[in-house]
Structures are given as structure tokens and as C-alpha cells.
A and B are shown apart, each in its own frame.
Chain A
Amino acid sequence: DAGVIQSPRHEVTEMGQEVTLRCKPISGHDYLFWYRQTMMRGLELLIYFNNNVPIDDSGMPEDRFSAKMPNASFSTLKIQPSEPRDSAVYFCASSPGGADTQYFGPGTRLTVL
């Protein structure tokens, strides 16, 4: 298996623009997690899905952030409009069993100017 795939790996955009991050989880994994990592706040869980259904989005910072999982092999995290404080590395992770071992993608480094 190729592991968790994220795209793009790097994204530079200007404030106010829409940003869409993409994730393909490991086949057969029922759980998908979106995290954000910054120096100031560390690794934060934004939202997670179970069988394509959002279960807990309490970590989503505000309404500018939205996430979808239209099928078992694809998820998106969208920021609209983006702001400089959204600059971070965004990770997607998948797991066969929730809070058991999570498999992380390589991350998307987002820079909002």
C-alpha cells in the first residue's frame, strides 16, 4: 500500500483565497483524521470521520474551515477565506480502529501571505 497520500505537498496563497487540501487514506481504514501542526500550538486534531461520516469537528477553528469525505478513499479540507494565521502544516491520518495506531500522510505545508 502507498500509505496515506496528501496533495498538494506545498501551497502558497494570498489572504482571502480559497484553499483545498486533499487526502487519500489507506484502503480499508474506517477512520480519517485531519490535524494541524504549528510551532505555537503543536499538533491539533481538527476533525475526524468514521465510515465517511464526520464524528467530531470540535477542533475546527471557525466557520472558514470545512471538511468533507464523499467516499471511503477521498477527503478534503477547505479554508475559505484563508488568513495568514492559517499558515501551518496540515496532516491527514487514517486508522483501522479509531484511537489505535494512526498512519499519517506527509502533510501539506500551507503558507498564506
Chain B
Amino acid sequence: SQQGEEDPQALSIQEGENATMNCSYKTSINNLQWYRQNSGRGLVHLILIRSNEREKHSGRLRVTLDTSKKSSSLLITASRAADTASYFCATSVGGNKLVFGAGTILRVKS
């Protein structure tokens, strides 16, 4: 089974609204990363949060990490049509591998 599981599987919002996606994982991690994938393209790294961090910001993105609950959330504020994409969390559990979740499909309607 997946180490990281995103929730919801799909999300549809209006432009200007905030979008929140969640990721749960099973084992202890070194870091957790979020990636975006536009249709037909490769994944693009958004943000990395280490296991000893609780919150991180990057532009309109805010990531939180709760290691006690083994969960993370990605908040996109003031969403735009260009934010329409799939969003994946990936966990580093040791070694140099990342394990990716199944992703959340975000659709932002203009």
C-alpha cells in the first residue's frame, strides 16, 4: 500500500478560493515533499518540510506537518486557474528514496 495517501482524491473550487489537500503516511519520515503535475507533464517540486519543522511557507503555499498524527496539509491560497493540476505528497523514509502518494486532482474554475 502507499506510504502517502492524499485526501481528497479530487477537489473542484472557484478561482480566488483556498484549496486544502491532506496527506497521511504510515512510518516515520525524514522529510515530506509536495509536487505538482500538470496534465501531460513531469512533476515539479513545490516545497519540502523536514521532520523537525511544523510549518513552511512559499508564496501562496503553506505546508504543515504533524508528525504525531503522521499527516501533512498543503494550502493554496487565492487559487488561480493555472493552479489546476494534480498534487502529490512524497515521503523520505530513509535511504535516498521518495515514496509518492496517489495524488489529489485540483480543478480551479474561472
Contacts and interface: CB of A to CB of B under 8 A. Distances in A.
Chain B interface main SS type: strand
Interface residues of B, number: 22
B96 interface: yes
B103 A55 contact: no
B10 interface: no
A105 B44 CA distance: 9
A50 B88 CA distance: 24
A107 B30 CA distance: 27
Interface string A75-113: 000000000000000010101001111111111000000
Interface residues of A, number: 22
A62 B33 CA distance: 29
28 contacts: A4-B42, A31-B96, A42-B2, A42-B100, A42-B103, A43-B43, A43-B100, A45-B97, A45-B98, A48-B96, A50-B96, A56-B95, A93-B43, A98-B96, A99-B31, A99-B92, A100-B48, A101-B33, A101-B45, A102-B43, A102-B98, A103-B45, A104-B35, A104-B42, A104-B43, A105-B42, A106-B42, A107-B42
